Structure 1
Amino acid sequence: MSCPFDRAQVQEQRERDQAIAIQLAKRRPSGPSRSECLDCDGEIPKARQALGGILRCTSCQSIFEKGGCR
Structure 2
Amino acid sequence: MAGGWTSDGAVQEQIDSSIEDAIARARSQLPKGESLSHCEECDAPIPEARRQAVPGVRLCVACQGAHDKAQQAASGYNRRGSKDSQLR
Partner of 2:32: 30
How do 1:1-16 residues align onto structure 2 when only pairs under 5 Å count?
Answer: none
Unpaired segments of 5 or more residues in structure 1?
1-21
1:28-68 CA distances to partner (integer Å, 9 max, x unpaired)?
32210110001110000001111211000001000011118
Query: Where does structure 1 differ by over 6 angstroms across 4 or more consecutive aligned residues?
Result: none
TM-score by length of 2: 0.44
**Structure 2 counterpart of 1:47, one-letter code:** A
Partner of 1:52: 55
Identity of aligned residues (%): 38
3-state secondary structure, aligned to 1:67: helix
Query: Which runs of 5 or more residues in structure 2 are unaligned?
Result: 1-21, 72-88
**2:5 equivalent in structure 1:** none
Query: What is the alpha-carbon distance in structure 1 between the residues aligned to residue 68 and residue 62 of structure 2?
Result: 10
Counterparts of 2:31 and 2:58 in 1: how far apart (Å)?
Answer: 9
Length-normalised TM-score, structure 1: 0.55
CA distance, structure 2, for counterparts of residue 41 and residue 66 of structure 1: 20
Question: Aligned pairs, how many?
Answer: 46
